[in-house]
Structure 1
Amino acid sequence: MKIGIDLRPLLHGKASGVAVYTHSLVSEMIKHKEHEFVLFLSGSKSEYSHIMDDFSGANIKKVFWKVPNRILNFGFWFLNYPKVDLGLDAMFLPDMRPIRLPKGTAKIVTCHDLSFLRFSRFFSWKSRFWYKLNSPKNYFRTADKVISVSKFTKKELERLCGVASEVVYEGASISDESDTAAVSEKYNLPARYLLSLSTLEPRKNLKRVIEAFQKAKVDCDLVVAGDFDTSVFSKLKLPSSDRVHLIGEIAETEKKALYGMSDGLVYVSLYEGFGLPPLEAMWCGKPVLTSKDSPMEEVCGKYGVYVDPYDVADISAGIRELITADKDPKEIAEHARKFSWRDAAKRTLEIIESSL
């Protein structure tokens, strides 16, 4: 098959969950030499310099639309132009992105979550405008196949959009390049800490997490890592504490060290579609504090400590339990390795093949 893949989620190298998903999954997909892959990118090659060497081979072709992504999106939205006519059998979109395809080209898209329908108040006006233009319900309904990253997201997609989908779990892969001493020195990490790692936005529930951490009075600090939207993040009015360290966005190569030196991960989000950081933490043998009635239960199984994300007292008790959790790091890591990008790529290709 001749399969197109939209690599625009990798634009600028932001370390979001969608970017990690795109990079990790596509890296495995292109190993299947029986297929020809056409990688679709927009803007200039310099904007993808961080990944250009990661996607190469005799069965791979890169196609650049040499216009800024915003202008390209404008054309897709309002002019129905340009059509991405590359002689493809199918186009795979690792995330919901505007695109126009000729008749006969199957469209397969991944749905990561429906937070923009469930919690639109948590998004900036720019993001709300973007989703309004994309019309998520119509977008997924017009796809030939939709992939959900969890059973939870599959149910949400059916309930909110009336769209059937197939579940393909994400994988985890942590870079071995981490220099523990260098990372510790760079961020001035405390001797003992719990880690919170995510994009820092309201639905990640950071305000309640910090309040709960202060109430827990445990013998460790809280390190908060992740990129954030300034216009939204500034409205959170986070509690101040000299035991809470906001270190900002981190590199993929620093994750293993940050997870490895921690006592565990705190990931008590109000809404997720999958929850990649919990899987990454377990990959490193670390226990996870996370939300009840969420897809993280599918991911963490018996190795998670589950709390009500709206209840500060419950989160606080969970933090104390996480600190004292008697869970075997080897067992935790073995559980995490049941989720692999190789398996995800194989299943994704099977779904793409079935779209014709």
Structure 2
Amino acid sequence: MKIAYDAKRFFHNASGLGNYSRDLVRILATNFTVNQYFLLNKNKSDRGKEVQKLPNVSFVKTSSGKFARQFKMGKDAQNLNADIFHGLSGELPLKWNEKPIKKIVTIHDLIFKRFPDYYSWFDRKIHFWKFKKAAEASDLVIAISEQTKNDIIHFLKVPGNKIRVVYQGCHQAFKEFIFPEFLNQTKEKFNLPERFVLNVGTIEKRKNLLNVVKALEGTNIPLVVVGKKTKYFNKIEKFISKKKLEVFFLKNVSMEELAAIYRLADVLVYPSFFEGFGIPVIEGLFSGTPVITSNTSSLPEAGGNAALYIDPKNPLDLRSKILYLWENESERKRRSELGFQYAQKFTDEVIAKELMKVYEEVLK
């Protein structure tokens, strides 16, 4: 089987869609070695270099020119005699030739429909048009959660029998043994406190960091934050300096260091208002870190019976759950073990089989 990917995000997105793209190709190429996997883009980068080195993965330089991704990439895939073209980020090329090829698109979320205030009018229109067009042109749609599947049915009017749910996994670094020396090095490098609560994700309104700092006011519990800053950060900064809270914002954290930081944390808090899936929850489960997350959107799918759930609009609810875990070592240990068991739903092997099932189905 030959599978071609729109690899723009693979090469150029540091997190989110980039991590999804790199993990998906890595998982398939290592579990189904007889297939050929083509990464199509006009240029490449060092991102995912361990994936690029796999013998069955090839970079293919696509046609150049304005809108080449939309008008030429599909034909480039067909000229490779690819059996399947997989758009990894809600998009498919608009033009194709007569050669047979099956089309699959992954849609991650429709947050722009649920929370339009977070997006400009123009971005909402463009996202909707691209996703709708791709869903209609595809032979099958992959949704990364039941929540996203329901949103695709509701907002894009795609029939449910055209959608397959395949969960995401997370980076290999979170699943591997970490030597105590590396844990200590990471702790020293970032000057981390002895005990802390961790929050991971872009510092934007939807991720709800303001309610985390509100919840920690007066508790003397240190907070460590790993995530890209946006304008919303200014609100957080004002609150922290006014209340004199102990918050550490980390920069330039490698994936291996991030995995170590999860292991060092007492609790992960991820009280997002809405997620297509919520990878940090999975990272926490694999790391054996107790997780507190929201009772909304797809987050209960990611956290299962292992996470503690809160109303993301209620900082007092979050505070009581943080204190409950912070002060209760035996409950942290129980949640850690439960979380690791639940995480086995998201192993590479499980996800690779689910993806391959979709590929085989579309070729029948």
Q: TM-score, normalised by structure 1?
A: 0.86
Matches within 5 A, 1:282-301: 282-301=285-304
Aligned to 2:142: 147
The answer to whether the Cα contact below 8 Å between 2:4 and 2:85 also exists between their aligned partners in 1 is yes
Aligned to 1:91: 85
2:130 to 135, 139, 143: 135
Task: Tell me: higher relative CO, structure 1 or 2? Use CA pairs within 8 A at least 6 residues apart.
Answer: 1
Matches within 5 A, 1:14-93: 14=14, 16-31=15-30, 32-43=32-43, 45=44, 48-65=45-62, 67=64, 74-76=67-69, 80-81=71-72, 83-84=75-76, 85=78, 86-93=80-87
Q: Report the CA distance between 1:125 and its aligned residue.
A: 7.5
Q: Report the CA distance between 1:220 and its aligned residue.
A: 2.1
In the alignment of these two chains, the number of paired residues is: 342
The answer to whether the Cα contact below 8 Å between 1:114 and 1:157 also exists between their aligned partners in 2 is yes
Aligned to 2:227: 226
Change (3 A) 1:76 1:59: closer
Q: Report the CA distance between 1:234 and its aligned residue.
A: 4.8
Q: Report the CA distance between 1:219 and its aligned residue.
A: 4.2
Aligned to 1:268: 271
The answer to whether the Cα contact below 8 Å between 1:174 and 1:280 also exists between their aligned partners in 2 is no
In structure 1, give the amino acid aligned to 2:153: E
- Which stretches of structure 1, 4 residues or longer, exceed 6 Å deviation after superposition? none
Q: 5+ unaligned residues in a row in structure 1: which ranges?
A: none
CA shift digits 1:162-219 (9 cap, x unpaired): 22311111223442467212222222211111000012222101112211221xx334
CA RMSD of aligned residues (A): 2.6
Higher helix share: 2
Deviates more, 1:119-128 or 1:344-353: 119-128
The answer to whether the Cα contact below 8 Å between 2:19 and 2:171 also exists between their aligned partners in 1 is no
Q: Report the CA distance between 1:288 and its aligned residue.
A: 0.7
Report the secondary structure of 2:97's partner residue. Answer: coil
Change (3 A) 1:203 1:341: same
Q: Percent identity?
A: 30
2:102 to 106, 111, 135: 106
Q: TM-score, normalised by structure 2?
A: 0.84
The answer to whether the Cα contact below 8 Å between 1:36 and 1:59 also exists between their aligned partners in 2 is yes
In 2, the alpha carbon distance for the partners of 1:93 and 1:343 equals 21
In 1, the alpha carbon distance for the partners of 2:289 and 2:148 equals 25
The answer to whether the Cα contact below 8 Å between 2:5 and 2:85 also exists between their aligned partners in 1 is yes
Aligned to 1:5: 5
Q: Report the CA distance between 1:127 and its aligned residue.
A: 5.1
Change (3 A) 1:191 1:76: same
In 2, the alpha carbon distance for the partners of 1:59 and 1:246 equals 39
Change (3 A) 1:233 1:119: farther
2:215 to 212, 217, 226: 212
Aligned to 2:280: 277
2:112 to 116, 125, 128: 116
CA shift digits 1:326-355 (9 cap, x unpaired): 142333222212311222122112212222
CA shift digits 1:33-84 (9 cap, x unpaired): 33222221232x3xx22323423455333202375xxx65x3445xx34533
Report the secondary structure of 1:250's partner residue. Answer: coil
Q: Report the CA distance between 1:305 and its aligned residue.
A: 1.2
The answer to whether the Cα contact below 8 Å between 1:290 and 1:305 also exists between their aligned partners in 2 is yes
Asked if residue 331 in structure 1 is aligned to residue 338 in structure 2, the reply is yes
Q: Report the CA distance between 1:13 and its aligned residue.
A: 5.5
Change (3 A) 1:127 1:10: farther
Q: 5+ unaligned residues in a row in structure 2: which ranges?
A: none
